[in-house]
Amino acid sequence: MKKKSTHTAHLERRHPTTSKSSPLPLNYIQMVEEVFSNHFDQALQAFQAIRPQSRFLAAGAVFAEEVVTSVSLVSDSHLAATTVHASADFDPKASSPTIQDLLSACVDALGTVWAAVLDAEKPEALANLAEESLSALDNVPFEWVAVDSNNRKIFVKLDKANPLLDQMADDWLKSHDPNYAESLEEEQAKTEKLFVTGPSSLTIQRPGKKKS
């Protein structure tokens, strides 16, 4: 099955400027989704008992001054969704940190937030996560909060954005604007050039452990 193009419309930016963005490569987005599905396998199964057909959906983009990634828990049968966003300052002219370094730290930061709200051993927390209101969730960042991830400052926040709605808008644009899909592919190609060796393997760091 052909992988759908990633999109950036729903991404929550920390630096609200008008600079253009380049979506992350599709294979990287798919890798992030697989990592989260595997890491939270038991919790996801428990949540699916409450909200059938739930799955992780990732997105990300590179802007002139930041890298933004997100991982959402969505369901085709419900409009309600939960999205965790991560942002890292990025200087495309600097040799370090690389975009891979920043994205790896963002993935770990996203995983830390998800671990706090998606726990198979806490059925009440799963029920709260299924609620449409943010007020049902405790101890989560509703505004941008700086965290340390892989010795880098990453900013995270959680909201109820549903990327499936944005994907519907993207699909409409593709079908009505013949230049939209071509432009998106060109921007993705630009981002791929930032990956020196291509997307590498990803893991989510477990709480209390440091990567070697």
Number of domains in the chain: 1
* Domain contains 211: no
Tell me how far apart the alpha carbons of residues 12 and 159 are, in angstroms, rounded to a whole number.
9
Measuring CA to CA, how many Å separate 69 from each of 6, 8, 157, 164, 207?
Answer: 11, 9, 11, 16, 20
The pLDDT of 134-149, averaged and rounded, is: 89
Tell me how far apart the alpha carbons of residues 67 and 88 are, in angstroms, rounded to a whole number.
5
Helix, strand or coil, per DSSP, at residue 171:
helix
Helix, strand or coil, per DSSP, at residue 184:
helix
* Domain contains 29: yes
CA angle 79, 184, 24 (to 5 degrees): 75
* Domain contains 169: yes
The reported pTM is 0.79
Q: Nearest CA to 55 among 65, 69, 41, 67? A: 41
* Domain contains 6: no
Q: In this structure, how many other beta carbons lie within 10 angstroms of the beta carbon of residue 10?
A: 22
Tell me how far apart the alpha carbons of residues 113 and 31 are, in angstroms, rounded to a whole number.
19
* For residue 46, pLDDT beyond 50: yes
Pick 199 or 20 by higher pLDDT.
20
The pLDDT of 101-129, averaged and rounded, is: 93
The mean pLDDT of the chain is: 81
Helix, strand or coil, per DSSP, at residue 202:
coil
| Banded model confidence at residue 200, pLDDT cuts 50, 70, 90 | very low
* Domain contains 32: yes
* Domain contains 96: yes
* For residue 116, pLDDT beyond 80: yes
Contacts of 115 (CB under 8 A, 6+ apart): 40, 207
pLDDT in tens, 54-70: 999 999 999 889 999 99
Contacts of 186 (CB under 8 A, 6+ apart): none
Q: Which domain range does residue 188 map to?
A: 22-192
| Banded model confidence at residue 2, pLDDT cuts 50, 70, 90 | very low
Highest mean pLDDT among 40-49, 77-86, 183-192: 40-49
Report the share of the chain in percent with pLDDT over 70. Answer: 72
* Domain contains 42: yes
Residue 6 near residue 26 (C-beta atoms within 8 A): yes
* Domain contains 200: no
User: Omega into 163 within 30° of 0, i.e. cis?
Assistant: no
